[in-house]
């Protein structure tokens, strides 16, 4: 059901009450008296354990998630659509299956997915204004979530067509950062990140076409995994955003992110990319061994002169020192990015143009989207094919860091800046928005061009309490090594002990 439809109040086993009324408060609506708000939900693995041990029920967890979503919607605005009635019915069915002795990795656990992902019965707005028909069927990733037993409670906000590292738009307003609601949680998976950071759901799916999982993970103190291209199906799209975009998990711990990755990984029969399977959850319990880690401060050429903010540099330096203390060899290095941006821009803008062309009311699109549509139309055909053909050479040139120089992992800041304030990008032209984005987020997107995996890990906080992150990047199909290293860092730094003040 959509977020504009009311739901009936039901008591939960945790003693809280789901508030009645819409999940998204309508402008001018008289607020109801506040109902008790449940505590933040436990993590994914812990929720699954409690359900298997019968110390809670799926109905209780789902009802608590719905109540917490509604209570925070006026401030965080993390969700575009809720499935309140359907999710509660699915939770009751999960409880029956659990009582009968059935066990699945996520049976009865509430999760959320980004609103670029088809969920049967809900429209896929992908951050856009206007009306869309409900999806006739689940995407492959959602089908796999359901097969693992998860209960999808709703769809989280994304900026328009996933273009920007902020989650704001005329269609839904601004999604805000649980650590400081004057700031963005990042984008384009900002709704998923805000929902997980605030404990509205144990974990959520996002998508990453230029850092859109890793950037909001960095700015909300989460683990975010951008897997190898093809690891998680993007079907019904066969090659989303010209191969740049992949789906990936956001969670508070490495184990939770790995569990979600295992649950949704796998190809649809029509998918182009089919990497061999990994066992992410096993990797999260494995010692990574002693690794050679390259620390890179210089981002690829963006013509902005961007470098890391001093507070970002301080946090990532401290993380590098931790890696050295844990026994790894950490050395500054410079990946040979070359002019990789010349391959990224055609692929990104053609991808935007392909999605924008499907919009039934193009006049409702942001002027910056329409500008990208025009650029993408010009760069289609021969230009984008040439950009994609360069990928093999880019693999060799940048891959020399691993193959020739002998490094196992590349460590960089995830972003050059802490999370910007809400409205920072308002009223900017398309060009000025692109320049501001490139200056704030110059590090993540090359790995989308390459199709290789990366993991954001929390790197700490600025002096004003804003989260920042670092990314562990690897060569092709290296998720297990990155996950094992991230888990070792987590064991030492215990970042999951810190929660936002929402």
What is the rounded CA–CA span in Å between residue 493 and residue 475?
25
What is the rounded CA–CA span in Å between residue 154 and residue 86?
10
Residue 405 annotated as catalytic: no
3, 207, 212, 233: the active-site residue: 212
SS3 state at 37: coil
Contact 51, 102 (CB under 8 A): no
Scanning 357-464, the segments in alpha helix (DSSP H) are 367-378, 382-389, 391-403, 430-440, 446-450
- The CA distances from residue 217 to 192, 328, 397, in Å, are 9, 24, 28
Contact 349, 387 (CB under 8 A): no
Residue 58 annotated as catalytic: no
Task: Classify residue 79 by its DSSP letter.
Answer: E
285-291, long-range: CB < 8 A, 24+ apart: 285/255, 285/487, 286/480, 286/484, 286/487, 287/484, 287/488, 288/481, 288/484, 288/485, 288/487, 288/488, 290/327, 290/328, 290/329, 291/328, 291/329, 291/408, 291/409, 291/481, 291/485
What is the rounded CA–CA span in Å between residue 196 and residue 111?
9
In which order are the strands placed within the sheet that holds 223-226?
79-82, 151-156, 110-114, 203-208, 246-251, 223-226, 454-461, 467-473, 409-413, 292-295, 329-332
Tokens linked to 269: 């029969």
3, 188, 233, 240: the active-site residue: 188
What is the rounded CA–CA span in Å between residue 486 and residue 254?
7
Tell whether the torsion through CA atoms of 44, 46, 47 and 52 is positive or negative.
positive
What is the rounded CA–CA span in Å between residue 323 and residue 288?
11
114, 207, 233, 240: the active-site residue: 114
Residue 114 annotated as catalytic: yes
| Beta-bridge partner residues of 168 | 174
Task: Classify residue 287 by its DSSP letter.
Answer: -
How many helices (H) and strands (E) the chain has is answered by 16, 13
What is the rounded CA–CA span in Å between residue 37 and residue 65?
10
State the catalytic residues: 114, 188, 212
């Amino acid at each position: 059901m959509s977020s504009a439809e009311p739901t009936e109040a039901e008591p939960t086993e945790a003693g809280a009450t789901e508030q009645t009324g819409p999940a998204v408060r309508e402008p001018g609506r008289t607020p109801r008296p506040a109902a008790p708000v449940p505590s933040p939900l436990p993590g994914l693995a812990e929720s699954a354990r409690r359900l298997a041990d019968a110390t809670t029920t799926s109905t209780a967890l789902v009802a608590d998630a719905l109540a917490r979503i509604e209570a925070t919607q006026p401030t965080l605005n993390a969700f575009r659509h809720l499935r309140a009635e359907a999710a509660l019915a699915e939770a009751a069915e999960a409880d029956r299956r659990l009582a009968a002795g059935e066990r699945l990795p996520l049976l009865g656990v509430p999760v959320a997915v980004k609103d670029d992902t088809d969920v049967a019965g809900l429209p896929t707005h992908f951050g856009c204004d206007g009306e869309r028909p409900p999806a006739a069927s689940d995407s492959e990733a959602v089908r796999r979530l359901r097969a693992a037993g998860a209960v999808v409670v709703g769809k989280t906000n994304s900026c328009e067509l996933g273009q920007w590292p902020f989650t704001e738009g005329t269609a839904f307003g601004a999604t805000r950062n649980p650590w400081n609601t004057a700031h963005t949680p990042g984008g384009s998976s900002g709704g998923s990140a805000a929902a997980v950071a605030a404990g509205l759901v144990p974990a959520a799916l996002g998508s990453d076409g230029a850092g859109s999982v890793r950037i909001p993970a960095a700015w909300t103190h989460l683990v975010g995994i951008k897997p190898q291209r093809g690891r998680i199906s993007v079907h019904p799209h066969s090659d989303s955003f010209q191969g740049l975009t992949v789906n990936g998990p956001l969670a508070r711990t490495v184990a939770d992110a790995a569990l979600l990755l295992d649950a949704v990984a796998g190809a649809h029969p029509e998918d182009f990319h089919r990497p061999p399977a990994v066992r992410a959850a096993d990797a999260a319990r494995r010692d990574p061994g002693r690794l050679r880690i390259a620390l890179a401060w210089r981002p690829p050429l963006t013509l902005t002169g961007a470098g890391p903010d001093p507070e970002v540099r301080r946090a990532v330096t401290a993380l590098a020192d931790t890696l050295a203390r844990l026994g790894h060899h950490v050395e500054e290095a410079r990946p040979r990015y070359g002019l990789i941006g010349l391959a990224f821009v055609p692929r990104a803008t053609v991808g935007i143009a392909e999605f924008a062309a499907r919009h039934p009311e193009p006049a409702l699109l942001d002027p910056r989207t329409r500008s990208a549509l025009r650029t993408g139309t010009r760069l289609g055909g021969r230009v984008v094919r040439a950009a994609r053909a360069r990928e093999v050479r880019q693999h060799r040139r940048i891959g020399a860091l691993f193959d020739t120089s002998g490094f196992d992992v590349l460590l960089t800041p995830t972003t050059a800046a802490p999370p910007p304030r809400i409205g920072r990008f308002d009223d900017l032209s398309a060009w000025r928005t692109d320049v501001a984005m490139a200056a704030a987020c110059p590090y993540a997107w090359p790995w989308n061009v390459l199709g290789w995996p990366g993991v954001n890990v929390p790197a700490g906080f600025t002096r004003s309490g804003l989260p920042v992150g670092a990314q562990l990047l690897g060569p092709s199909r290296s998720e297990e090594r990155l996950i094992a290293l991230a888990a070792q860092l987590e064991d030492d730094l215990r970042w999951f002990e810190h929660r936002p003040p929402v």
